[in-house]
Amino acid sequence: MLDLLLKNATLPDGRRDMSVAIQGEKIVEVAPGLTAPAHEVIDAQGLLLAPPFVDAHFHMDATLSYGLPRVNQSGTLLEGIALWGELKPSLTLEAITERALTYCDWAVGKGLLAIRSHVDTSDPRLLAVQALLEVKKRIAPYIDLQLVAFPQDGLLRAGGGGAPGARGGVDNLKRALDLGVDVVGGIPHFERTMAEGAQSVKLLCEIAAERGLLVDMHCDESDDPLSRHVESLAFEAQRLGLHGRVTGSHLTSMHSMDNYYVSKLLGLMSEAQLSVISNPCVNITLQGRHDTYPKRRGLTRVPELLACGLDVAFGQDDMMDPWYSLGCADMLDVASMGLHVAQMTSQAAMRQCFEMITTVPARIMKLEGYGLEAGCNADFVLLQARDPVEAIRLRAARLKVFRRGKLIASTPAATASLNLPGRPLQTSWMNA
Ligand code: FE2
């Protein structure tokens, strides 16, 4: 007998009246109209059953610190970095851990069950690294957390030069990796010069190649049309044979680059099989701040990157921290912003936006057992929507969230009870 049978579900690829059979922690069958006996049967009533949401770009060490010690006045990336620097000396292991755990509670409620978080390695004490490694252990039963060693103050700019015993950027990053941080990060556009930025990309990719790790670098997060670190990233990925293992995050300068140059760059990125993570809520907030009018949107060229066959995901980046004052762990909100800013308004493009917060980031993170197929982990979300486009439009309620076959969160359906003159009494949830 099955442990659980979900029937009458719509899947993200459009298949209707589908059943999903669960035994233990795994999906054992996905087929139309299954009738096998089960301890528990759930009728999805034609609603959308999706794999969990995945956020492949986040900063869990900074989340929920909004207003500490003050608010970002200019709204720029650089003031955000300065503000985080002001906060760092007063951070404690307990405070970082507590805020991260609170955020993860919110994430589960929103069906967000896999997160790649950058963790600042610039502090020689590696306080944030220790805190998030502990958080990773504690949330493992309900969230897959992948950590990226992120030299926020600049790998080379932070000093040390990698000399043994010097607690500089390179040394701190390597110690974080030794402690178990999964992925190599970077921030070349924050190094002192373009040349040092390129050198940092080279060093970091070599560290990843030596250790057999993935790379996910903050890259060209500015409106500078001449910021070209993604070119170096593609070159190093290709040179070191890291094809399909390197991600460029943000790439906002591509928005402002010369079109001819981009036509060449896209080929280099394809050759290296780079993945891209665009963070629409934060990019549209932080970029364009030095413009008068017209103001640039500061989003990388998402449709063009997709047209080249690259994996492009949407990430959340920040929530209530020095860089972004809003957010609620809702990846549908992120997809909606990306859809609007990138003008991905065809039916096919809107469905693609849903994949960019589910299957694509799962592929970038190389998650095992992810998906709605026999043999995958029994992790999924039942949404109050009939298809992925409606889910984005309504920021649909996550009626039920399952992890390894167990219900771990539920939310009541969002309905309005209407009592209007000349209209029948009714409840409505905007499903046109
Ligand atoms: Fe980021």
Judge if 119 and 195 occupy the same domain.
yes
Q: What is the mean pLDDT of the chain?
A: 95
**Interval between CA 136 and ligand 1 midpoint (Å):** 19
**Interval between CA 315 and ligand 1 midpoint (Å):** 9
Q: Is residue 430 part of a domain?
A: no
Smallest Cα–Cα separation from 63: which of 93, 100, 89?
Answer: 100
Give the count of domains, the chain: 2
Smallest Cα–Cα separation from 206: which of 164, 156, 242?
Answer: 242
According to DSSP, residue 156 is labeled: T
Rounded to whole angstroms, what are the CA distances from 302 to 297, 299, 330, 361?
12, 8, 20, 14
Catalytic residue among 221, 236, 355, 390: 221
Q: Which of 341, 364, 387 is the last residue of a domain?
A: 364
**Interval between CA 119 and ligand 1 midpoint (Å):** 10
Contact by Cβ (8 Å): 151, 121: yes
Contact by Cβ (8 Å): 274, 310: yes
**Interval between CA 280 and ligand 1 midpoint (Å):** 11
Smallest Cα–Cα separation from 81: which of 153, 129, 185, 149?
Answer: 153
Q: Is residue 427 part of a domain?
A: no
Rounded to whole angstroms, what are the CA distances from 310 to 36, 271, 339?
40, 10, 17
Catalytic residue list contains 221: yes
Give me the phi and psi of 136, to 5 degrees please: -55, -45
**Interval between CA 215 and ligand 1 midpoint (Å):** 14
**Interval between CA 219 and ligand 1 midpoint (Å):** 9
Smallest Cα–Cα separation from 101: which of 89, 88, 117?
Answer: 117
The position carrying tokens 């001819």 is: 260
Judge if 91 and 188 occupy the same domain.
yes
Judge if 7 and 82 occupy the same domain.
no
Q: What is the DSSP string of 63-126?
A: TT-TTSS---SS--HHHHHHHHHHHGGG--HHHHHHHHHHHHHHHHHTTEEEEEEEEE--STT-
pLDDT of residue 166: 55
Judge if 344 and 401 occupy the same domain.
no
Burial of 109 (0-12, 13-18, 19+ CB in 10 A): middle
Judge if 294 and 317 occupy the same domain.
yes
Say if residue 165's pLDDT is above 90. no
d(CA 276, CA 361): 9
Say if residue 159's pLDDT is above 90. no
What does DSSP say about strands 53-58 and 112-120: parallel, antiparallel, or unpaired? parallel
**Interval between CA 116 and ligand 1 midpoint (Å):** 10
Which is it for the CA torsion 201, 221, 261, 315, positive or negative? Answer: positive
Q: Is residue 426 part of a domain?
A: no
Contact by Cβ (8 Å): 222, 189: yes
State the Rg of the chain over Cα.
22
Judge if 383 and 291 occupy the same domain.
no
The token duo for 308 is 């080249």
Q: Is residue 322 part of a domain?
A: yes
Q: Which structural domain, as residue segments, surrounds residue 7? A: 2-51+371-417
Say if residue 218's pLDDT is above 90. yes
350-409 pLDDT per residue, tens? 999 999 999 999 999 999 999 999 999 999 999 999 999 999 999 999 999 999 999 999
pLDDT of residue 124: 92
Q: Give the residue-averaged pLDDT of 420-427.
A: 82
CATH number at residue 402: 2.30.40.10
**Interval between CA 317 and ligand 1 midpoint (Å):** 5
Phi-psi region of 37 (alpha: psi -120 to 50; beta: other; left: phi over 0): beta
pLDDT of residue 431: 63
Judge if 280 and 380 occupy the same domain.
no
pLDDT band at 158 (very low <50, low <70, confident <90, very high): confident
Q: Is residue 298 part of a domain?
A: yes
**Interval between CA 370 and ligand 1 midpoint (Å):** 24
Judge if 32 and 167 occupy the same domain.
no
Give the other-Cβ count within 10 Å of 241's Cβ.
9
Judge if 296 and 189 occupy the same domain.
yes
Say if residue 428's pLDDT is above 80. no
d(CA 219, CA 277): 10
Q: Give the residue-averaged pLDDT of 174-188.
A: 98
What does DSSP say about strands 2-9 and 38-43: parallel, antiparallel, or unpaired? parallel
Judge if 146 and 160 occupy the same domain.
yes
300-328 pLDDT per residue, tens? 999 999 999 999 999 999 999 999 999 99
pLDDT band at 425 (very low <50, low <70, confident <90, very high): confident
Judge if 14 and 118 occupy the same domain.
no
Judge if 79 and 12 occupy the same domain.
no
**Interval between CA 117 and ligand 1 midpoint (Å):** 9
Q: Give the residue-averaged pLDDT of 131-144.
A: 98
Q: With helix as H, strand as E and coil as C, how does 277-317 read?
A: EECHHHHHHHCCCCCCCCCCCCCCCHHHHHHCCCCEEECCE
What lies within 8 Å, CB to CB, of 7 at 6+ separation is 19, 33, 34, 41, 42, 43, 44
Q: Is residue 216 part of a domain?
A: yes
**Interval between CA 272 and ligand 1 midpoint (Å):** 22
CA 216, 364, 384 angle in degrees (round to 5)? 125
267-300 pLDDT per residue, tens? 999 999 999 999 999 999 999 999 999 999 999 9
pLDDT of residue 173: 97
Q: What is the dihedral of CA 334, 335, 337, 339, to 10 degrees?
A: 170
Say if residue 265's pLDDT is above 50. yes
Smallest Cα–Cα separation from 110: which of 369, 395, 321?
Answer: 395
Q: Give the residue-averaged pLDDT of 3-31.
A: 98
pLDDT of residue 162: 47
Contact by Cβ (8 Å): 27, 378: yes
Indicate the pTM of the whole model.
Answer: 0.96
The position carrying tokens 């924050």 is: 190
Which is it for the CA torsion 44, 49, 52, 55, positive or negative? Answer: negative
Q: Which of 332, 364, 396 is the last residue of a domain?
A: 364
Any idea which of 50-54, 158-162, 231-235 has the lowest mean pLDDT?
Answer: 158-162
d(CA 319, CA 97): 16
CATH number at residue 246: 3.20.20.140
Any idea which of 145-154, 214-223, 419-428 has the lowest mean pLDDT?
Answer: 419-428
With a pLDDT cut of 70, the percent of the chain lying above it is 97
Q: Is residue 387 part of a domain?
A: yes
Q: Is residue 229 part of a domain?
A: yes
